[in-house]
């Protein structure tokens, strides 16, 4: 899952809520990791993720690994 800077905090807050409920249920939870990536490096490998974009109101993308034709 990839997003631009404004989407990181809402996504991270949601992940922490989900992980908190997992640990309360006795499941081991790992910490989410946020990597900073220059968009121009991966731009051709991204597809829009309309479901996440609607949920958070910020553009989200999936890193598919398939280069788009321009």
CA dist 10 and 8 (Å) reads 6
pLDDT reported for residue 59: 87
CA dist 19 and 69 (Å) reads 38
CA dist 11 and 24 (Å) reads 20
pLDDT reported for residue 69: 66
pLDDT reported for residue 23: 59
CA dist 11 and 2 (Å) reads 10
DSSP conformation letters of 42-61: HGGGEEE-HHHHHHHSS-EE
Q: Are 41 and 28 in contact (CB under 8 A)?
A: no
Per-residue pLDDT tens over the stretch 7-51: 888 888 888 887 776 556 555 667 777 888 888 888 888 888 888
């Amino acid at each position: 899952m990839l997003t631009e800077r404004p989407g990181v905090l809402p996504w991270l807050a949601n992940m922490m809520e989900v992980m908190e409920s997992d640990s309360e249920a006795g499941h081991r939870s790992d910490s989410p990791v946020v990597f900073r990536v220059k968009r121009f490096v991966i731009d051709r490998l991204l597809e829009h993720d309309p479901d996440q974009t609607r949920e958070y109101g910020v553009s989200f993308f999936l890193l598919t690994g398939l280069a788009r034709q321009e």
